[in-house]
Amino acid sequence: MKKSIVCMYLFVVSLNFSCAQEAENEVSTPENIPFSAELFIDGLQIPWGMAFLPDGSMLITEKAGTLIHFKNGTKTNISNVPAVYSRGQGGLLDVVLHPDFGNNGWIYFTYGSEEGEEKGGHTALMRAKLKDNALYDNELLYKAGPNTTKGQHFGSRITFDNDGYLYFSIGERGARDVNPQDITKDGGKIYRLNDDGSIPEDNPFIGKDGAKTATYSYGHRNPQGLVTHPETGEIWDHEHGPKGGDEINIIEKGANYGWPLITYGINYSGTPITDKTEMEGMEQPIHYWVPSIAPSGMAFVTSNKYNGWKGSLLVGSLVFQYLERLTLDGTKVTSREKLLDDMGRVRDVRQGPDGLIYVSIEGKGIYKLVPRS
């Protein structure tokens, strides 16, 4: 049984989770760090997402709207990037390669876009190809609406599943009582598309009156982590709660994840949002954080480069400025470790094709975690 909100907030000034969750989920700092953190790419401000190209180079999104190609130690700005609505939490966000990139060359990215009749912006998904440090064949695959001048909760992360479907997240854009529980509205959703942007025929809300048929799940707040489990093929997300209640969820077709009708968090003012942490027909998280760590970026460790890390889940913390390693037994979090403590706001984490972990930190750049011999 989950603990009560009253119990959870008895320890808001500490990272002792003994009241909120089981003792084995308390965060610890390892005595002997099994790696050195080496600055791999410097001079970055808010490196939101990163993707590794087959030739060993990298693509990096800067939230302000710049797409960077890093190759042979040199950063080059990519041209023909779409106009980006950079406001609050919005800007140029995630970037991933198509699973068959070697044959088709498609690159996918999410960003804040002003396209539409209303003022402001909303999250969009585009794909394009790259040649001579310029994008071409740009195709807008999805544009959420309506636009708003609010700066909150754009999301957004992208992943492909093992069947080639594309999933991406959009936050509820600061309209918690309007968007996340309404399948006819964008925002607070995980979406699923075919790789060309068309709607899969078996999406859960096909045929529902007025539904956004790209929707795969709903009731989300602001998902800034989205990955495919390397063994089960499940889609995992994490999302920002309000004050407390950040969550890790396993995404099920057509499922409702409850925001804001159920939550383990409270308003930033300290007042309750709801007295409910569970309701019939709504999914429970497999893990939640109180106090909030403000999670961003998410990666499973599949390599053997780091002793004892294989199968772990890595999550960045914006507010506490560290990288968290969660040890898993199936879907149960059995322990938590704090890494890169006080290095800065961790925006993204990826495992590279070399099996090493790369971590983007705001105001610094991208660090490579080099195992100690």
Q: pTM score, two decimals? A: 0.93
Q: Kind and range of the H or E element at 8?
A: helix 5-8
Chain segment 303-328, per-residue pLDDT in tens: 999 999 999 999 999 999 999 999 99
Q: Which residues are catalytic?
A: 153
CATH topology for the 5-9+49-290 domain: Neuraminidase (2.120.10)
Q: How far is CA 195 from CA 138, 202, 216, in A?
A: 14, 15, 15
Burial of 69 (0-12, 13-18, 19+ CB in 10 A): middle
Q: Shortest CA distance to 186 belongs to which of 177, 173, 201?
A: 173
CA dist., res. 364 & res. 150, Å (int):
28
Domain edges within the chain: 5-9+49-290
| Segments of the chain with pLDDT less than 50 | 1-24
User: What pLDDT sits at residue 26?
Assistant: 78
User: What pLDDT sits at residue 15?
Assistant: 36
- The vertex-134 CA angle with 41 and 138, nearest 5°, equals 115
